Amino acid sequence: MLNRITALFLLFSLVTANFSRYMVYAGFELNKNYIAANLCENRDKPWLHCNGKCYFMKKIKQAEENDKKQTAKDNLTRLEVSFFQEPYDLSFLQPANLNNVQASCPAYSYQYSSQYINSIFRPPKSVA
């Protein structure tokens, strides 16, 4: 239950941070009568038909400035973090020369011998 409440709270805070303009608009729409009667700069001039839009525009500009400041802060923190690594020197071992190495096994000696028997083998005679 606590995990679900925490997740919903984090989700709501994420949405409000990213959609602050829409939250200002929703707040304006919900409190339109109160803003027009008490917070509007032109409440003494009803012929302008402002109805609190001047207050709404101020809040929108303020939200945009806050977003710009936040993005500027984010960019500065991104620039501060830098990662440098020295290049890794890759070296390979030289192959050993096997010509000078004496084999521990004795050399192979070919001991097969053939005895050619002329009396058995008779090549065919040419007819010409």
pLDDT confidence of residue 116: 65
pLDDT at 90 over 80: yes
pLDDT confidence of residue 102: 63
pLDDT confidence of residue 76: 66
pLDDT confidence of residue 98: 67
Name which of 13, 52, 48 is nearest 30 in CA terms: 52
Residue 44 pLDDT grade (very low, low, confident, very high; cuts 50, 70, 90):
confident
Name which of 56, 64, 17, 60 is nearest 39 in CA terms: 56
pLDDT confidence of residue 8: 92
Contacts of 51 (CB under 8 A, 6+ apart): 32, 36, 40
pLDDT confidence of residue 85: 77
pLDDT per position as a tens digit, 51-79: 888 888 888 888 888 888 888 777 766 65
pLDDT per position as a tens digit, 1-33: 889 999 999 888 877 767 777 877 888 888 888
